[in-house]
């Protein structure tokens, strides 16, 4: 039973062996693996508990419940990038599209070289990937779930000889409800809410929702435990500060919250790289208006990806947004928004994701609230221009009569001539309307405390019993959706931890 | 103090070079080897810092460097240009940017609420409630789930709000 706390609760824990902060892709995996190895695990999750039976199609109902700040965060800098993070039991796995790609081999080779460990070589991580994929039912999206606009995109890509691959997703009997971003209402998406967390609970882990960790209490080079507040699920008001004593602390609170917890705990004073290297895979979307109805809401949210330009760090794909979210994402005002929204069933949203070449950083308020700053480089801006041109070209190939571009000052492309004009145009970063869902690298893994935050075993430099197991430990961007990488790395960290403890207890 | 922080590309360079330069010898076997390894490591970490300081020193001595290279020096921090840049950036961050963000948040909120209404959905011919209900039943039939699920006891979840 996951406890959704309401007010003061006598069941709240005050002692455990392992405290896991966060229940997303990193936290849930660690909780399940360690609970099954016999540890007494407590999971503290800031967000609420919303089982499948409470997930619905209504964005007004689901956005404030499942997303941090209702999905309205953005970076400062040129250009501002809107980003979203999950804040519920299951974390971002509840609200993502469920895309499961292994880390590309070239990225793993680079990490293995840089970190000086063979553990990250693709052949050594492959068994862990297989284990995670098996548990998540990772499989390609069946052809019958392709929405009509995805089929259009696939045909256009084939017409241009672009290489495309079916998207691998963690689905079990998916019906193509196309509401992944509001939580799967049929329970087909195998998020940690229906996979790892039940497994952890079965093995004895205790999971507490609505518990916000304030800081890790340090005692010399060890963590004594964590201080946390209970939150009122309705008002979000904080209850009194409580202390949970723990032998080991695993932080898996996500790309912005893990470094914030380190900052509030005073660890960032010693480790200067906390929050320093923020990679976020910025992406942008073009909207095509087709003469016939495409009804993009009937089918799978992402069916395939075009990886023709992977070497340039670009990935193209078809996606879907409900009307309310699409309207706020359009770069228009007033009647123009309504003119476009009236043709909702003729609209198709295709996106391009760029592997960022230069990091941003997180800054912290005195209370430890994170503020992301990010500046898009000239090179990345050019790659966005290239990606937008390719997307718009695909739209016209598929028969779209008009393409809405995410560029301020050049919002429409009604023919290929407009695209030729865009080719000659010197695009500035601040003209782009950007979005991100993959925040990573803010507590990067490395060999030295001067240049990183955690070592290759995910242990925070200088602390014996604090580990970080989420996307914030990535040494750099990975070009693909990070869920499977996070889970594989968390599994590896948990296995190493169990093995180390076993050997230690034998030696003692 | 911020000059002591390595730039990301320097870190990447060092971390990429270390396993190549350092031989894969058992570190803990011999005290001498460990000592040598330590000094190589320190040298590699410090080397870029040393060059950067040298560069700044040259820039300051000859007073010909572009502003970019002066940006970290003590002298620049005392200059009027830095003062102006600092206050412009601070005003932008503290007053203009939040206004801009609030404008977009309010605009987004209005559009989100307006286009999430059931009558708007009907106008746009978008029927998520029916579509989801249909799919939930389909999945249950496919998986042969016969016992009553929590989904069934809460039909209001997939009903339009107005009904």
Mean pLDDT of B27-39: 57
Alpha-carbon distance A421 to A434, whole Å?
Answer: 21
Dihedrals phi, psi of A131, to nearest 5 degrees: -60, -45
d(CA B59, CA A462): 37
Which residue has better confidence, A487 or B109? A487
Please say whether the beta carbons of A413 and A403 come within 8 A. Answer: yes
Size of interface A-B (CB pairs under 8 A): 141
Look at A7-16, A257-266, A271-280 and tell me which has the smallest mean pLDDT: A7-16
Is the minimum CB–CB distance between A452 and chain B shorter than 8 Å? yes
pLDDT given at position B137: 75
Select the more confidently predicted residue: B109 or B145: B109
Instruction: Please report residues of B whose CB lies closer than 8 A to that of A116.
Output: 15, 18-19, 22
CA trace torsion A433, A436, A442, A443 (10° rounding)? -170
pLDDT value of residue B2: 46
pLDDT at A57: 86
Who has greater pLDDT, A26 or A175?
A26
Q: What one-character-per-residue DSSP string does A363-377 give?
A: EE-TT--EEEE----
DSSP-based helix, strand, coil % in chain A, nearest 5: 35, 25, 40
Averaged pLDDT score across all residues of chain A: 92
CA distance A117 to chain B (A): 9
Taking only residues 95 to 114 of chain B, the set having a beta carbon closer than 8 angstroms to any beta carbon of chain A reads: 97, 101, 105, 107-109, 111-114
The alpha helices in A251-377, defined as continuous H runs, are 257-264, 323-329, 335-341
To the nearest whole Å, the CA of B30 is away from the closest chain A CA by 20
> Could you tell me which residue, B74 or A27, shows the higher pLDDT?
A27
Contact B111 A327 (CB under 8 A): yes
Decide: A484 and A445 in contact? Cβ < 8 Å: no
The mean pLDDT of A352-361, rounded to a whole number, is 92
Torsion-angle region of residue A295: left (phi > 0), alpha (psi -120 to 50) or beta? left
| Contact in structure between B93 and A139 (CB atoms under 8 Å) | no
A343-352 pLDDT per residue, tens: 999 999 999 9
A72 interfaces chain B, CB cutoff of 8 Å: yes
A277 touches chain B (CB under 8 A): yes
Q: Which residue has the tokens 């709000």?
A: B161
**Nearest CA-CA distance, residue B64 and chain A, Å:** 27
A3-19 tens-digit pLDDT: 665 445 567 888 999 99
Which residues, 6+ apart, have CB-to-CB distance to A44 below 8 Å? A19, A20, A21, A22, A208, A211, A213, A226, A228, A244
Measured between CA atoms, the residue of chain A closest to residue B144 is: A173
Q: Which residues of B touch A72 (CB under 8 A)?
A: 105, 108
- A192-246, pLDDT tens digit by residue? 999 999 999 999 999 999 999 999 999 999 999 999 999 988 888 898 899 999 9
DSSP string for B23-83:
----TTS-HHHHHHHHHHHHHHHHHHHHHHHHHHHHHHHH----HHHHTTSHHHHTSHHHH
**A323 and chain B in contact, CB less than 8 A:** yes
| pLDDT at site B62 | 58
Q: Which residue has the higher pLDDT, B141 or A91?
A: A91
- Backbone phi, then psi, for A199, in 5-degree steps? -60, -45
Residue, of B102 and A70, whose pLDDT is higher: A70
Tokens 């956005």: give the residue.
A63
Q: Return the number of other C-beta atoms located less than 10 Å from residue A109's C-beta.
A: 13
Q: Could you read off the pLDDT of B8-28 as tens digits, one per residue?
A: 777 677 667 666 655 554 444
pLDDT of residue B35: 62
CB of A343 closer than 8 Å to CB of A289: yes
Mean pLDDT in chain B?
67
Q: Is A374 exposed, middle or buried (0-12, 13-18, 19+ CB in 10 A)?
A: buried
Q: What is the DSSP letter of A103?
A: P
Residue A60 has pLDDT above 80, yes or no: yes
Q: Give the percent of chain B with pLDDT over 70.
A: 33
Identify the DSSP state of A104: P
Q: How far is CA A146 from the centre of its chain?
A: 23
Instruction: Establish how many alpha carbons lie within 13 A of residue A209's alpha carbon, considering only the half-sphere containing its beta carbon.
Output: 25
Mean pLDDT score, A93-106: 94
Average pLDDT over residues B57-86: 60
Q: Concatenate the DSSP letters of all residues of A384-413 into one string.
A: HHHHHHHHHHHHHHHT-SEEE-SBTT--EE
* Structural domains of chain A in order of their starting residue, each with its CATH number: 13-54+65-137+181-278+438-507 (3.50.50.60), 140-171+281-355+377-431 (3.30.410)
In this prediction, residue B153 has a pLDDT band, given cuts at 50, 70 and 90, of: very low
pLDDT of residue B76: 62
**pLDDT score at B160:** 60
Query: Given an 8 Å threshold on Cβ–Cβ distance, is B111 in contact with A324?
Result: yes
Nearest residue, CB atoms, A451 vs list B15, B124, B150? B15
Give the C-alpha separation, A78 to A442, whole Å.
Answer: 19
Q: Do B115 and A324 touch (CB under 8 A)?
A: yes
Using CB atoms and an 8 Å cut-off, which of residues 211-240 of chain A contact chain B? none
Closest to A180 in 3D by CA, of B128, B89, B68, B46: B128
CB within 8 Å of chain B, chain A residues 165-194:
173, 175-179, 185-188
Residue A142 contacts B, CB cutoff 8 Å? no
Q: Are the beta carbons of B158 and A327 separated by less than 8 Å?
A: no
The string of pLDDT tens digits covering residues A120-140 is 999 999 999 999 999 999 999
What amino acid positions of A are annotated as catalytic residues? 438
The yes-or-no verdict on residue B29 having pLDDT over 50 is no
> For chain B, what percent of residues have pLDDT higher than 90?
9
3-state class (DSSP) for residue A415: coil
- Residue B144, burial from CB neighbour count under 10 angstroms (0-12, 13-18, 19+): exposed
Q: What is the pLDDT of residue A489?
A: 97
- How is residue B95 annotated by DSSP? I
Contact state of A114 with B158 under an 8 Å Cβ cutoff: no
CA distance B32 to chain A (A): 21
User: Per mean pLDDT, which range of A147-151, B1-5, B113-117 is the poorest?
Assistant: B1-5
For residue A445, count other CB atoms closer than 10 A to its CB: 25
Cα end-to-end distance, chain A, whole Å: 36
Query: How many percent of chain A have pLDDT more than 70?
Result: 98
- Give residue A396's pLDDT band: very low, low, confident or very high (50, 70, 90): very high
Mean pLDDT across B70-97: 65
């Amino acid at each position: 039973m996951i406890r959704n706390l309401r007010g003061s609760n006598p069941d709240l824990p005050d002692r455990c062996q392992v405290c896991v902060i966060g229940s997303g892709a990193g936290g849930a995996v660690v909780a399940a693996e360690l609970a099954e190895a016999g540890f007494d695990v407590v999971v503290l999750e800031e967000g609420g508990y919303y089982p499948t039976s409470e997930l619905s199609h209504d964005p007004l109902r689901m956005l404030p419940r499942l997303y941090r700040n209702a999905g309205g965060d953005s970076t400062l800098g040129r250009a501002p990038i809107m980003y979203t993070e999950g804040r519920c039991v299951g974390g971002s796995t509840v609200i993502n599209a469920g895309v499961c790609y292994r880390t590309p081999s070239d990225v793993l080779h680079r990490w293995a070289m840089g970190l000086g460990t063979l553990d990250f070589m693709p052949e050594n991580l492959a068994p862990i990937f297989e284990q995670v994929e098996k548990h998540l039912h990772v499989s390609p999206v069946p052809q019958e779930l392709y929405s009509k606009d995805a089929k259009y995109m696939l045909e256009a890509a084939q017409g241009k000889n672009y290489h495309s691959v079916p998207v691998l997703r963690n689905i079990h009997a998916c019906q193509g409800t196309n509401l992944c971003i509001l939580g799967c209402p049929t329970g087909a998406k195998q998020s940690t809410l229906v996979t790892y967390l039940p497994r952890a609970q079965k093995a004895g882990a205790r999971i507490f929702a609505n518990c916000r960790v304030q800081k890790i209490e340090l005692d010399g080079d060890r963590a004594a435990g964590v201080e946390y507040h209970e939150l009122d699920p309705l008002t979000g008001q904080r209850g009194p500060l409580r202390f949970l004593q723990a032998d080991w602390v695993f932080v898996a609170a996500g790309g912005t919250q893990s470094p914030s917890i380190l900052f509030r705990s005073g660890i960032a004073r010693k480790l200067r790289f906390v929050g320093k290297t923020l990679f976020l895979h910025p992406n942008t979307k073009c909207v095509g208006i087709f003469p016939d109805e495409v009804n993009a809401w009937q089918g799978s949210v992402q069916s395939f990806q075009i990886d023709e330009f992977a070497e340039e760090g670009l990935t193209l794909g078809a996606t879907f947004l409900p009307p309310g979210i699409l309207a706020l994402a359009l770069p228009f005002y007033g009647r123009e928004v309504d003119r476009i929204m009236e043709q909702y069933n003729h609209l198709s949203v295709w996106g391009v994701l760029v592997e960022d070449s230069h990091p941003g950083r997180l800054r912290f308020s005195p209370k430890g609230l994170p503020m992301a700053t990010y500046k898009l480089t000239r090179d990345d801006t050019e790659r966005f221009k290239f990606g937008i041109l390719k997307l718009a070209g695909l739209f016209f190939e598929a028969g779209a009569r008009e393409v809405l571009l995410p560029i301020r000052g050049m919002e429409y492309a009604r023919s290929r001539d407009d695209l030729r004009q865009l080719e000659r145009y010197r695009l500035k970063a601040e003209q782009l309307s950007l979005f991100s869902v993959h925040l990573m690298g803010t507590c990067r893994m490395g060999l030295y405390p001067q240049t990183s935050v955690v070592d290759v075993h995910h242990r925070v430099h200088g602390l014996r019993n604090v580990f970080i197991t989420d996307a914030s430990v990535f040494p750099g961007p990975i070009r693909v959706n990070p869920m499977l990488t996070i889970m594989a790395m968390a599994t590896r960290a948990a296995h190493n931890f169990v093995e180390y403890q076993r050997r230690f207890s034998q030696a003692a | 103090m911020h000059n002591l922080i390595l730039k990301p590309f320097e870190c990447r360079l060092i971390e990429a070079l270390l396993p190549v330069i350092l031989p894969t010898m058992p570190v803990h076997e011999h005290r001498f080897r460990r000592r040598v390894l330590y000094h190589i490591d320190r040298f590699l970490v410090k080397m870029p810092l040393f060059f950067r300081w040298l560069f700044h020193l040259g820039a300051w001595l000859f007073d010909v460097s572009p502003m970019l290279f002066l940006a970290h020096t003590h002298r620049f921090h005392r200059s009027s240009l830095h003062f102006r840049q600092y206050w412009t950036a601070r005003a932008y961050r503290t007053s203009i940017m939040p206004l801009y963000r609030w404008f977009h948040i309010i605009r987004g909120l209005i559009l989100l609420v307006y286009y999430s209404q059931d009558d708007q959905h009907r106008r746009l011919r978008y029927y998520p409630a029916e579509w989801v209900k249909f799919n939930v039943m389909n999945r249950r039939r496919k998986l042969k789930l016969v016992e009553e699920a929590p989904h069934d006891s809460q039909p209001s979840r997939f009903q339009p709000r107005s009904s």
